[in-house]
Structure 1
Amino acid sequence: MSINLKNLISVLEAKWIGAEAAIFIDHISIDSRSLQNGSQTLFFALTGVNNDAHLYISELIDKGVQNFVVQYIPENCEGKANFMVVKNTLNALQHFAAYYRHLFDFPIIGLTGSNGKTIVKEWLNFLLSPDYNIIRSPKSYNSQVGVPLSVIAINEKHNLGIFEAGISTVNEMDKLEKIIKPTIGVLTNIGTAHDEGFLNLVQKIDEKLLLFKDCPVIIYQKNETVDSCMSQFAAEYMLHPRKLFSWSFRDQTADVFILKKEKRNDKTRIEYQYKNEIFDLEIPFQDSASIENAISCLLVLLHFEYDSATIQNRMQMLYPVEMRLEVKNGINNCSIIDDSYSSDFQSLKIALDFLESQKKNASKTVILSDIFQSGFSNEELYSKVAQLISDNKINRVIGIGSTISSFADKFSNCITFQNTAEFIAHFESLNFANETILIKGARSFQFEEIVTLLEEKTHETILEINLDSISHNLNFFKSKLANDVKIMVMVKAFGYGNGGLEIAKLLEHHKVDYLGVAFADEGISLKNGGIKLPIMVLNPESTSFPSIIQYQLEPEIYSVKGLNAFLKIAREKNLKDFPIHIKLDTGMHRLGFEENTLTELIETLKGNTTVKVQSVLSHLATSDDMNHYDFVISQIKLFEKLSSKLISELNINPIRHILNTSGISNFPEAQFNMVRLGIGLYGVSNDPAEQKYLENVGTLKSIISQVRTIPAGDSVGYGRRFMAEKPTKIATIPIGYADGISRLWGNEVGYVVIKNQKASIVGSVCMDMLMVNVTEIDCKEGDSVIIFGESPTVTEIANALKTIPYEILTSISQRVKRVFFR
């Protein structure tokens, strides 16, 4: 990309404020945290309910960024950079992408639907890449922001594009259509995703079809509802020549009619009729979703007039698509970021940003295979990759492949190998320790073998943490706050059982204001992990005060005795204005200064310069129970009274905060200067109406260790608490109460999910195992088992055990490996 800013002023309908506009830019950015921002970056300052990128323009200018698209020029920034002022920066980004798209003239495949878009996109890329230089959406970049960023990555060497478009409500697709302008449309499966954004299924289909309003070819599965919508759509846009290219399992009038599906040996043989001829096709999947997605790909290949032999040869090599970046614990205190199934330039940029946001260790290593389909010559590509690596301050590069090996001299501190086998042969000599390692390779390099070598060896039960869901839930609660209200996020108790450091890094990336922990050792662990955010220790013991000071943590002070103990140490260390947080007891009666101790507190603090009251807080006892509404209001009023007295008597201006997660939702009038988000971040709400807007964060998984069938009359487990009344198939799962599974969840009270079916837990939960009834489930040893997640939810388990979701989450043992993904 090389764009003259002068040409964009009219495109963006912008007002230019700056120096001469004849400036060329080669990079578009919306993320102020990216290390890839530089002097030739054009930064779009997007705004939303949760953030305003204008706030970071000053620090971007300090880092060398000179060109911005803004809705307003921040204070003290005018004259320091070039600004294009527009009414709406998101609209401007979309207009820029539409302008950029029209600079190129080659086939573009546009994908939309409820499910399968990303799978079909990745499979089409695999199927067509031997013959085309393809640009495609990285990962699942299909939103109002993701689509423009995807299209902007096109360059002059590309000759085929594959972009997906996702919408969640009406009046969104029209904007994406202007950007993608597909010449081939593919409508994938229409399901229930985002149903809440539409009046009914017909409205959803009609809106999605708008992507194809200027599209000569539309590929879709015939059914009654889609056919009706498609007919009206074709009539409405009859001025545009088009070909409706359909397939069906039932309707013989479809262009491609599926005569037969036959499953065998983990594969599916498909017999289909096309142009009055019958053809065979075999794909390496048996589930219905994969079969539908493969048929969508088949029709694209038929449209491109591939012969049946080529179609068969390529489609039998289709593979499961990994659509997420995973963070795993590695050997020798390493952290592993697993992106071992793709290697293209755009996804490398995304992975490097993710590496920066999730690095546990200061030292950063990238293991990288040859990169395919960049659209650049090899010389230009590896020059760009080397610059990208340099911008992201990568300490060590390990290249694998003949092409990257030939350009090793472009990288500093780089070692290369011709293939993965050669790397493995030299593995021990590479001395991996105390570093964060991004593993990024094309599928053909089989980098999963490298992941296996580097991954910390633990048992097969894992807790998967969805970092995207944490981001979603954070933004959901931030949207409830006034613009000037800060947010503290609680990461105590190992991040409510989900993993403290990894989540803290994500929160730091999102620029929350404070982190909260219960004890000093939790805060020390975060500081040792590189967390720079201020951390408040809510339950500090006096013996931990020296460590709190050493690691620049901030203690909550809740008694005169504790205050005097801290002041004594602070004076000995000659501290000045060390931040402390004063806890008031307004009715919880757990910790805090009561009203009758306030005078002594004030006298102790008055004139003191050793410490600074950074905040004043209290804790609501019943914010989740509106039956106690009046009591909460009385707490809030007392907090206002006591904190105001402190502020007045000490002449201070501290942050004030009293709301927890349920308080944020139920008592918005009491946000004061900050709120404390806890269990809501992890996808749990006490309000069923609110719960549907939150996303599940943690999924506890295991596998089947063994399957056996016992006869009627036999028992299972300790105490023979389950007796089989008939021949019963039993599966053993390697997870038990030592991993955090309550024994009360056994004896047919609880269940796990195998192959999307419930399997009742039979007999007592053992220390390291539990047994389930799988008589009606077609399963085998090694199959995946869901302990909790979408179903059963931790709330469902908690209700059954007459406890709270907190206890379920925090009970999960740290011997259970946490896997973080995005």
Structure 2
Amino acid sequence: MSQKILNSIQKIPATFLGNQENRDLDAVSIDSRSLQNGPQTLFFALIGANTDAHLYIQDLMVTGVRNFVVTHIPNGCETKANFYVVDDTLVALQQFAANYRDFFEFPIIGLTGSNGKTIVKEWLNFLLSPDYNVIRSPKSYNSQIGVPLSVIAINEKHNLGIFEAGISTSSEMAKLEEIIKPTVGVLTNIGSAHDQGFLNVEEKIKEKMSLFKNSKVIIYQIDNRVDSFVFPKTKAFTWSFVSKEADVFIVKNRVLDDTILNVQFGEENFDVKIPFQDAASVENASSCLMVLLYFKYDISTIQNRMQLLYPVEMRLKVKNGINNCSIIDDSYSSDFQSLKIALDFLESQKQYEKKTIILSDIFQSGLSKDELYTKVSQLIVSNKMDRVIGIGETISEFKDKFTNCITFKNTAAFIADFENLDFSNETILIKGARSFQFEEIVYLLEEKTHETVLEINLNAISYNLNFFKSKLKPKVKIMVMVKAFGYGNGGLEIAKLLQHHKVDYLGVAFADEGISLKNGGVNVPIMVLNPENTSFAAIIQHQLEPEIYCLKGLHAFLKIAKQKNLEQFPIHIKFDTGMHRLGFEENTIEELIATLKGNNTVQIKSILSHLATSDALEHMDFAHSQIALFEKLSSRLMSELYIKPLRHILNTSGISNFQESQYDMVRLGIGLYGISNDPEEQKQLEDVGTLKSVISQIRTIAARESVGYGRKFMAEKPTKVATIPIGYADGISRGWGNGVGFVTIKNEKASILGSICMDMLMVDVTGIDCKEGDAVIVFGQSPTVAYMAQKLNTISYEILTSISQRVKRVFFR
């Protein structure tokens, strides 16, 4: 692999500057935060809208990295490493991956479509891996960056590749085609995803089909919109549920919880059972069936393997565990590439310094067992894991390669010995192949709560953060508000992610919130916006930074600071410019200046104020008057005290509506969580939280029967009623009941019947094909938090922050 990496990098258009002392390369990285970076890493310094990896090259040198692809060499680094200087590091990464791909001649399956790519990829891996050493995209690595990283993972032992390609606008697929070079193409689905990036559906289809311009065959559900874009040299292998003109005609029949596919292919006519009934899964399974037919699998093998298909868990989840543990659940896959991703995720989300990994045998690496487990051991060492628990016969053979390691032959043996294993105050990564049934281990370690959960999409938080950062002028810093338990979403976990993204400040309301974050390992500076005088000692002890907003508070803090012999302790001065909530008023500035002049116990880190109408454009003049007063007061304070602290006045709406007043820093709040007061901006944000529950019971009531307290709902006809275990004690407003609100079950609206109870609510599921145990969406994409707020005549903040902490938060990526 080392020689292939070296040859691939030497082929890109670059100017080489270096001493060539360390050219033994076996890994490629783009993440400066990864603990896996080291002397054998080739690092591409990518430049994003708000990030520039060149800033971290000196830090990477400390970890031993000596080979970099850059657009420029940072000052002081010129003679200390090897540099490939290019015009664009992302283009260079793609060129490098395309060069690397050329070393391998085996079949490559390329997947694209609007939906289903990752599911089909994982199922094809399951179906084909008994016969091939498969390399596939980890998770959903299908972007302009993800695809090259996926392809670079190929090694000499692989003999089949499965890679997915995702695009959001025109002219993107050509770059991915050059990297993947698929010999077999699979078009999964043409839906509405990313429609906004194309002029029309024809342009989107044409762009997606360009992935297959050099493929031998393309497999797709027959569609006259697609037919015209098949390349002349590419064979079309089509299937359909409705058209017998397709190469393969499939008839669907539901039997209990399964679907029987009657397959008519040439002279063959046979049945295949799959354990799903939903339309998307049946369609994805049909795509997989077509690949097996193209690869000439016999009917009995197809039947035997297809009936074993399983739900694919595509997310890494963070869960609360027993004995004050944090669990990262990745219990459905075990391959080398996904292990690297999971370990990086652990590092960004760890809540405890002590780290344990529960790891099954690793499959489909393409490497010899000795080479594979040597690499796994090196990976675990680089990530500074404290304990390794191996499960499986193979990993047990190589136990000696790991330090502080115990092994078990199978999951049952681990469970039998569970009571003798100590799990407490640690972060536990559970990483296992599906056949090991590690979900049983997750169940043992997971803190037991009821079935209502608030799922928090960490990818969406990262996306929303970068969306607002893209609006900032260069060098403007960003503070992110994580007060009120992260606006109801979970404070520590989100703070950890923000720390990973290197935000400049975190904001909390009260000292205990900040102390909790500090105790959880957060080291980003934390501002306490509403400190009580009684909390000043604790604020100092935990190195928090108080906002000071009145003379009484200032004198109280200076007194305790003097008692503790503090010097230059950071504080933040707040002016009231019209909000009339907290802050020094203009008539107090003389005494404020006199008190602070010559005082060395404190250092003013920032001066701030708060806009009252940043989201109300009809009060634009008032907002401008606030900004003008802030400019006046802050400038005078800075001038009189000869200081130059950060200044900030803009909140989420202010970032978008008053970009000329960004000063030195802005404060991002509700926008991080996917909420905007601007309908157009709202379309560009991603939903962060989905509140989910399940159906506890279903009953049918007759006409004139009632539901709930006070008989507020009276049935006019026979009505099927489902009871959901969530109520106003969980944070659902009673005003959302009695037909005002609804939940979503099987993608259909179910109106809330009668009054919402403390722990339950009832909904009308007449006409919805559902059963007890089925999932229920209380809010998320439908209904949205904004819709609920509108109907309840309140604001989105109240909906989010009302969700009780007895509702379990599950974080996923």
Q: TM-score, normalised by structure 2?
A: 0.99
Name the counterpart of 2:496: 505
Partners of 2:4 and 2:100 within 8 A in 1: no
What SS does the corresponding residue of 2:228 show, helix, strand or coil? helix
Q: CA deviation at 1:555?
A: 0.2
Is 1:462 matched with 2:453?
Answer: yes
Is 1:370 matched with 2:369?
Answer: no
Is 1:552 matched with 2:543?
Answer: yes
Name the counterpart of 2:133: 133
What SS does the corresponding residue of 1:58 show, helix, strand or coil? helix
Name the counterpart of 1:17: 17
Q: CA deviation at 1:40?
A: 1.1
Instruction: Select which of 234, 237, 253 maps to 1:242.
Output: 234
Q: CA deviation at 1:249?
A: 1.7
Deviations 1:304-360 (A, max 9, x none): 111111111110110110000000000000000000000000000000000010001
Is 1:79 matched with 2:70?
Answer: no
Instruction: Select which of 649, 652, 656 maps to 1:658.
Output: 649
Name the counterpart of 2:778: 787
Partners of 1:93 and 1:148 within 8 A in 2: yes
- Greater shift in the superposed pair: 78-87 or 802-811: 78-87
Is 1:438 matched with 2:422?
Answer: no
Q: CA deviation at 1:426?
A: 0.3
CA distance 1:771–1:354, shift in 2 (3 Å): same
Deviations 1:128-187 (A, max 9, x none): 000000000000000000000000000000000000000000110000000000110111
Name the counterpart of 1:750: 741
Deviations 1:5-45 (A, max 9, x none): 76456522111121137722111000000000001111100
After TM superposition, list the pairs within 5 Å mapping 1:513-528 onto structure 2: 513-528=504-519
Is 1:684 matched with 2:675?
Answer: yes
What SS does the corresponding residue of 1:219 show, helix, strand or coil? strand
After TM superposition, list the pairs within 5 Å mapping 1:356-755 onto structure 2: 356-755=347-746
Name the counterpart of 1:763: 754
What SS does the corresponding residue of 1:389 show, helix, strand or coil? helix
**Number of aligned pairs?**
813
Name the CA distance, whole Å, in 2 between partners of 1:821 and 1:9.
35
Partners of 1:4 and 1:24 within 8 A in 2: no
Name the CA distance, whole Å, in 2 between partners of 1:301 and 1:768.
49
Name the counterpart of 2:42: 42
- Greater shift in the superposed pair: 531-540 or 290-299: 290-299
Name the counterpart of 2:110: 110
Name the counterpart of 1:302: 293
Q: CA deviation at 1:731?
A: 1.0
Name the CA distance, whole Å, in 1 between partners of 2:336 and 2:225.
40
Name the CA distance, whole Å, in 1 between partners of 2:135 and 2:268.
33
CA distance 1:662–1:603, shift in 2 (3 Å): same
Q: CA deviation at 1:675?
A: 0.4
Name the CA distance, whole Å, in 2 between partners of 1:543 and 1:649.
30
Partners of 1:335 and 1:435 within 8 A in 2: yes
Name the counterpart of 2:302: 311
What SS does the corresponding residue of 2:429 show, helix, strand or coil? strand
Q: CA deviation at 1:228?
A: 2.8
Deviations 1:642-683 (A, max 9, x none): 111111111111001000000001111011000000000000
Name the CA distance, whole Å, in 1 between partners of 2:131 and 2:561.
70
What SS does the corresponding residue of 1:229 show, helix, strand or coil? coil
Partners of 1:44 and 1:93 within 8 A in 2: yes
Q: CA deviation at 1:280?
A: 1.4
Name the CA distance, whole Å, in 2 between partners of 1:178 and 1:64.
32
Deviations 1:111-131 (A, max 9, x none): 011001001100000000000
Name the CA distance, whole Å, in 2 between partners of 1:348 and 1:764.
48
Name the counterpart of 2:59: 59
Percent identical pairs in the alignment equals: 75
Name the counterpart of 2:156: 156
Amino acid at match of 1:125: N
Q: CA deviation at 1:77?
A: 2.1
Partners of 1:9 and 1:16 within 8 A in 2: no
- Greater shift in the superposed pair: 398-407 or 4-13: 4-13
What SS does the corresponding residue of 2:338 show, helix, strand or coil? helix
Partners of 1:420 and 1:446 within 8 A in 2: yes
Name the CA distance, whole Å, in 2 between partners of 1:38 and 1:10.
20
Partners of 2:111 and 2:121 within 8 A in 1: yes
What SS does the corresponding residue of 1:3 show, helix, strand or coil? helix
Q: CA deviation at 1:93?
A: 0.4
Name the CA distance, whole Å, in 2 between partners of 1:265 and 1:725.
32
Is 1:337 matched with 2:321?
Answer: no
- Greater shift in the superposed pair: 496-505 or 777-786: 777-786
Amino acid at match of 1:631: F
Deviations 1:742-769 (A, max 9, x none): 0000111111111111111111111111
Name the CA distance, whole Å, in 2 between partners of 1:255 and 1:727.
47
Q: CA deviation at 1:3?
A: 3.3
Partners of 2:4 and 2:103 within 8 A in 1: no
What SS does the corresponding residue of 1:24 show, helix, strand or coil? coil
Aligned-pair Cα RMSD in Å: 1.0
Name the counterpart of 1:193: 193
Runs of 5+ unmatched residues, structure 2: none
Name the CA distance, whole Å, in 2 between partners of 1:215 and 1:607.
75
Q: CA deviation at 1:277?
A: 2.4
Name the CA distance, whole Å, in 1 between partners of 2:324 and 2:525.
25
Partners of 2:22 and 2:66 within 8 A in 1: no
Name the CA distance, whole Å, in 2 between partners of 1:15 and 1:288.
53
- Greater shift in the superposed pair: 70-79 or 641-650: 70-79
Name the CA distance, whole Å, in 1 between partners of 2:498 and 2:102.
38
Amino acid at match of 2:234: R
Amino acid at match of 2:13: E
Name the CA distance, whole Å, in 1 between partners of 2:800 and 2:20.
58
Q: CA deviation at 1:250?
A: 2.2
Q: CA deviation at 1:596?
A: 1.1
Is 1:269 matched with 2:260?
Answer: yes
Instruction: Select which of 253, 277, 280 maps to 1:286.
Output: 277
What SS does the corresponding residue of 1:130 show, helix, strand or coil? coil
Partners of 1:4 and 1:23 within 8 A in 2: no
Q: TM-score, normalised by structure 1?
A: 0.98
Q: CA deviation at 1:623?
A: 0.4
Q: CA deviation at 1:255?
A: 1.0
Deviations 1:69-105 (A, max 9, x none): 1111122222222211100000000010001000111
What SS does the corresponding residue of 2:762 show, helix, strand or coil? strand
Name the CA distance, whole Å, in 1 between partners of 2:115 and 2:696.
32
Instruction: Select which of 227, 233, 245 maps to 1:253.
Output: 245
Q: CA deviation at 1:276?
A: 2.8
Q: CA deviation at 1:709?
A: 1.2
Partners of 2:8 and 2:97 within 8 A in 1: no
Name the CA distance, whole Å, in 2 between partners of 1:142 and 1:746.
42
Q: CA deviation at 1:379?
A: 0.4
Name the CA distance, whole Å, in 1 between partners of 2:69 and 2:312.
36
Name the CA distance, whole Å, in 2 between partners of 1:517 and 1:6.
48
Partners of 2:241 and 2:252 within 8 A in 1: no
- Greater shift in the superposed pair: 679-688 or 70-79: 70-79
Amino acid at match of 2:256: N
- Greater shift in the superposed pair: 533-542 or 264-273: 264-273
